[in-house]
Amino acid sequence: MKADRYTVIYFILTILPIIVAVVVYGLVPESITVVDEISISTGRVRIFILPIANLVIGGVFFFLFIKLDGLRQKAAEEAGRPPDMSNVLNIMKIYIILFFDVMCLFSIYGFYALDWGGTATAAFMCRSVALMLGVGGILVARILPGANKHSLIALRWGYTLKSDNVWYLTHKLGTKLFYFAGIFSILCAFIYSSYQVILICALCYALIILVLYHYSKRLYYGEFR
Protein backbone atom coordinates (compact mmCIF):
# COMPACT_ATOMS: atom_id res chain seq x y z
CA MET A 1 0.00 0.00 0.00
CA LYS A 2 2.82 2.37 0.85
CA ALA A 3 4.50 1.80 -2.50
CA ASP A 4 1.20 2.57 -4.26
CA ARG A 5 0.86 5.82 -2.32
CA TYR A 6 4.39 6.86 -3.22
CA THR A 7 3.72 6.03 -6.87
CA VAL A 8 0.60 8.22 -6.94
CA ILE A 9 2.53 11.09 -5.34
CA TYR A 10 5.36 10.58 -7.83
CA PHE A 11 3.09 10.86 -10.87
CA ILE A 12 1.25 13.87 -9.45
CA LEU A 13 4.58 15.63 -8.98
CA THR A 14 5.66 14.59 -12.49
CA ILE A 15 2.72 16.28 -14.21
CA LEU A 16 2.44 19.25 -11.82
CA PRO A 17 4.85 21.53 -13.75
CA ILE A 18 2.91 20.88 -16.97
CA ILE A 19 -0.32 21.94 -15.26
CA VAL A 20 1.30 25.08 -13.87
CA ALA A 21 2.84 25.90 -17.27
CA VAL A 22 -0.57 25.61 -18.98
CA VAL A 23 -2.09 28.02 -16.45
CA VAL A 24 0.78 30.50 -16.69
CA TYR A 25 0.85 30.30 -20.50
CA GLY A 26 -2.58 31.88 -20.65
CA LEU A 27 -1.48 34.70 -18.34
CA VAL A 28 1.68 35.67 -20.24
CA PRO A 29 1.05 38.04 -23.18
CA GLU A 30 2.41 37.07 -26.56
CA SER A 31 4.31 40.33 -26.77
CA ILE A 32 5.06 43.42 -24.72
CA THR A 33 5.47 47.02 -25.84
CA VAL A 34 8.88 48.42 -24.97
CA VAL A 35 8.48 51.87 -26.54
CA ASP A 36 5.64 53.61 -28.34
CA GLU A 37 4.76 51.14 -31.10
CA ILE A 38 7.60 48.67 -30.82
CA SER A 39 6.68 45.30 -29.37
CA ILE A 40 8.80 42.27 -28.66
CA SER A 41 7.75 38.66 -28.30
CA THR A 42 7.82 37.21 -24.78
CA GLY A 43 8.51 33.75 -26.16
CA ARG A 44 6.03 32.36 -23.67
CA VAL A 45 6.05 28.91 -25.24
CA ARG A 46 9.47 28.44 -23.63
CA ILE A 47 7.83 27.87 -20.25
CA PHE A 48 6.93 24.38 -21.49
CA ILE A 49 10.53 23.32 -22.15
CA LEU A 50 11.46 22.33 -18.60
CA PRO A 51 8.06 20.85 -17.67
CA ILE A 52 8.15 18.60 -20.75
CA ALA A 53 11.74 17.61 -19.94
CA ASN A 54 10.59 16.93 -16.39
CA LEU A 55 7.83 14.66 -17.69
CA VAL A 56 10.34 12.66 -19.75
CA ILE A 57 12.88 12.49 -16.92
CA GLY A 58 10.16 11.43 -14.50
CA GLY A 59 9.16 8.54 -16.73
CA VAL A 60 12.75 7.41 -17.23
CA PHE A 61 13.56 7.52 -13.52
CA PHE A 62 10.35 5.69 -12.64
CA PHE A 63 11.37 2.67 -14.72
CA LEU A 64 14.97 2.91 -13.50
CA PHE A 65 13.75 2.75 -9.91
CA ILE A 66 11.61 -0.29 -10.72
CA LYS A 67 14.72 -1.96 -12.14
CA LEU A 68 16.83 -0.89 -9.15
CA ASP A 69 14.26 -2.21 -6.69
CA GLY A 70 14.19 -5.54 -8.51
CA LEU A 71 17.99 -5.83 -8.38
CA ARG A 72 17.98 -4.93 -4.69
CA GLN A 73 15.40 -7.57 -3.85
CA LYS A 74 17.25 -10.18 -5.92
CA ALA A 75 20.55 -9.40 -4.18
CA ALA A 76 18.82 -9.75 -0.81
CA GLU A 77 17.45 -13.16 -1.75
CA GLU A 78 20.81 -14.39 -3.05
CA ALA A 79 22.53 -13.23 0.14
CA GLY A 80 19.98 -15.08 2.25
CA ARG A 81 18.90 -11.99 4.15
CA PRO A 82 15.40 -10.50 4.42
CA PRO A 83 14.65 -7.83 1.83
CA ASP A 84 15.09 -4.23 2.89
CA MET A 85 11.59 -3.06 3.76
CA SER A 86 12.59 0.55 4.38
CA ASN A 87 11.16 3.39 2.33
CA VAL A 88 14.58 4.74 1.32
CA LEU A 89 14.05 3.92 -2.36
CA ASN A 90 10.61 5.55 -2.38
CA ILE A 91 11.95 8.63 -0.58
CA MET A 92 14.76 8.90 -3.14
CA LYS A 93 12.21 8.66 -5.94
CA ILE A 94 10.10 11.47 -4.50
CA TYR A 95 13.17 13.60 -3.77
CA ILE A 96 14.47 13.35 -7.34
CA ILE A 97 11.16 14.33 -8.93
CA LEU A 98 10.78 17.14 -6.38
CA PHE A 99 14.27 18.34 -7.32
CA PHE A 100 13.22 18.78 -10.95
CA ASP A 101 9.80 20.14 -9.95
CA VAL A 102 11.35 22.92 -7.91
CA MET A 103 13.61 23.85 -10.83
CA CYS A 104 10.60 23.94 -13.18
CA LEU A 105 8.39 25.97 -10.86
CA PHE A 106 11.14 28.45 -10.02
CA SER A 107 11.89 28.93 -13.72
CA ILE A 108 8.18 29.41 -14.55
CA TYR A 109 7.83 31.96 -11.77
CA GLY A 110 10.96 33.78 -12.90
CA PHE A 111 9.71 33.83 -16.46
CA TYR A 112 6.19 34.98 -15.63
CA ALA A 113 6.76 37.39 -12.76
CA LEU A 114 10.19 38.85 -13.45
CA ASP A 115 11.85 39.17 -16.83
CA TRP A 116 10.41 36.83 -19.47
CA GLY A 117 13.16 34.25 -19.15
CA GLY A 118 16.22 36.46 -18.65
CA THR A 119 18.81 36.76 -15.92
CA ALA A 120 16.34 36.68 -13.02
CA THR A 121 14.99 33.35 -14.21
CA ALA A 122 18.53 31.94 -14.36
CA ALA A 123 19.12 33.21 -10.82
CA PHE A 124 15.98 31.46 -9.60
CA MET A 125 17.17 28.26 -11.25
CA CYS A 126 20.51 28.42 -9.44
CA ARG A 127 18.77 29.09 -6.14
CA SER A 128 16.44 26.14 -6.68
CA VAL A 129 19.35 23.76 -7.30
CA ALA A 130 21.13 24.94 -4.14
CA LEU A 131 17.91 24.64 -2.15
CA MET A 132 17.29 21.06 -3.24
CA LEU A 133 20.93 20.12 -2.68
CA GLY A 134 20.44 21.34 0.87
CA VAL A 135 17.29 19.27 1.31
CA GLY A 136 19.18 16.29 -0.09
CA GLY A 137 21.98 16.72 2.44
CA ILE A 138 19.51 16.76 5.33
CA LEU A 139 17.74 13.72 3.87
CA VAL A 140 21.03 11.79 3.71
CA ALA A 141 21.79 12.83 7.30
CA ARG A 142 18.46 11.36 8.39
CA ILE A 143 19.17 8.06 6.61
CA LEU A 144 22.82 7.51 7.64
CA PRO A 145 22.27 6.63 11.35
CA GLY A 146 20.23 3.55 10.45
CA ALA A 147 22.37 2.48 7.50
CA ASN A 148 23.91 -0.98 7.45
CA LYS A 149 26.33 -2.58 5.01
CA HIS A 150 23.49 -3.61 2.73
CA SER A 151 21.67 -0.28 2.75
CA LEU A 152 21.04 1.61 -0.45
CA ILE A 153 22.55 4.81 0.95
CA ALA A 154 25.64 4.38 3.12
CA LEU A 155 29.27 5.45 3.43
CA ARG A 156 30.46 2.21 1.91
CA TRP A 157 34.16 1.83 1.07
CA GLY A 158 37.10 -0.35 2.10
CA TYR A 159 37.81 1.04 5.57
CA THR A 160 34.19 1.22 6.72
CA LEU A 161 33.43 -2.27 5.43
CA LYS A 162 36.40 -3.84 7.23
CA SER A 163 35.46 -2.67 10.73
CA ASP A 164 32.10 -2.29 12.45
CA ASN A 165 33.56 0.36 14.76
CA VAL A 166 34.89 2.37 11.84
CA TRP A 167 31.52 2.01 10.13
CA TYR A 168 29.66 3.32 13.18
CA LEU A 169 31.96 6.25 13.92
CA THR A 170 32.21 7.32 10.28
CA HIS A 171 28.43 7.33 9.90
CA LYS A 172 28.07 9.20 13.17
CA LEU A 173 30.36 11.98 11.93
CA GLY A 174 28.80 11.81 8.46
CA THR A 175 25.36 12.47 9.91
CA LYS A 176 26.57 15.69 11.54
CA LEU A 177 28.48 16.86 8.48
CA PHE A 178 25.61 16.22 6.06
CA TYR A 179 23.22 18.07 8.35
CA PHE A 180 25.63 21.00 8.36
CA ALA A 181 26.09 20.86 4.57
CA GLY A 182 22.33 20.73 4.04
CA ILE A 183 21.66 23.79 6.18
CA PHE A 184 24.64 25.59 4.64
CA SER A 185 23.36 24.90 1.10
CA ILE A 186 19.87 26.16 1.97
CA LEU A 187 21.35 29.36 3.41
CA CYS A 188 23.48 29.79 0.29
CA ALA A 189 20.33 29.52 -1.84
CA PHE A 190 19.04 32.70 -0.18
CA ILE A 191 22.37 34.54 -0.25
CA TYR A 192 23.75 33.83 -3.73
CA SER A 193 21.92 33.86 -7.05
CA SER A 194 24.47 32.82 -9.66
CA TYR A 195 25.92 29.53 -10.83
CA GLN A 196 28.59 29.98 -8.17
CA VAL A 197 26.12 28.84 -5.50
CA ILE A 198 25.90 25.43 -7.20
CA LEU A 199 29.69 25.19 -7.31
CA ILE A 200 29.96 26.13 -3.63
CA CYS A 201 27.42 23.48 -2.59
CA ALA A 202 28.99 20.81 -4.77
CA LEU A 203 32.46 21.54 -3.36
CA CYS A 204 31.04 21.38 0.17
CA TYR A 205 29.67 17.86 -0.39
CA ALA A 206 32.85 16.74 -2.15
CA LEU A 207 34.91 18.01 0.79
CA ILE A 208 32.69 16.11 3.23
CA ILE A 209 33.20 12.82 1.38
CA LEU A 210 36.94 13.44 1.31
CA VAL A 211 37.01 14.23 5.05
CA LEU A 212 34.95 11.14 5.90
CA TYR A 213 37.16 8.91 3.78
CA HIS A 214 40.37 10.10 5.47
CA TYR A 215 38.67 9.99 8.87
CA SER A 216 37.73 6.33 8.36
CA LYS A 217 41.24 5.58 7.12
CA ARG A 218 42.78 7.17 10.21
CA LEU A 219 40.40 5.25 12.49
CA TYR A 220 41.12 1.95 10.76
CA TYR A 221 44.90 2.20 10.90
CA GLY A 222 45.07 4.02 14.21
CA GLU A 223 42.62 2.17 16.45
CA PHE A 224 40.56 -0.62 14.96
CA ARG A 225 42.80 -2.48 12.57
Where does the pLDDT of residue 31 fall: very low under 50, low under 70, confident under 90, or very high at 90 and above?
low
The mean per-residue pLDDT over the stretch 82-101 comes to 78
Where is 216: in which H helix or E strand? helix 196-219
Where is 221: in which H helix or E strand? none
Q: To 5 degrees, how large is the angle CA 93–CA 94–CA 99?
A: 100
Averaging pLDDT over each range in 56-70, 103-117, 194-208, which range is the top one?
Answer: 194-208
Which residues neighbour 134 within 8 Å (Cβ) at sequence distance 6 or greater? Answer: 181, 182, 183, 184, 185, 186, 187, 188, 189, 201
The mean per-residue pLDDT over the stretch 136-158 comes to 88
Give dist(CA 55, CA 58) in Å, integer.
5
Cα end-to-end span (Å), the chain: 45
SS (H, E, C) 88-104: HHHHHHHHHHHHHHHHH
The candidate with the shortest Cα–Cα distance to 112, out of 45, 33, 198, is: 45
Tell me: pLDDT of 126 over 80: yes
CA distances from 139 to 134, 153, 181 (A): 9, 11, 11
Tell me: pLDDT of 204 over 90: yes
Give dist(CA 76, CA 38) in Å, integer.
67
Question: Which sequence spans correspond to the domains of the chain?
Answer: 1-117, 118-225
What does the pLDDT read at residue 113?
63
What does the pLDDT read at residue 1?
42
124, 107 contact by CB (below 8 A):
yes
Tell me: pLDDT of 119 over 60: yes
The mean per-residue pLDDT over the stretch 26-31 comes to 72
180, 215 contact by CB (below 8 A):
no
Q: Which residue has the higher pLDDT, 107 or 223?
A: 107
Where does the pLDDT of residue 115 fall: very low under 50, low under 70, confident under 90, or very high at 90 and above?
low
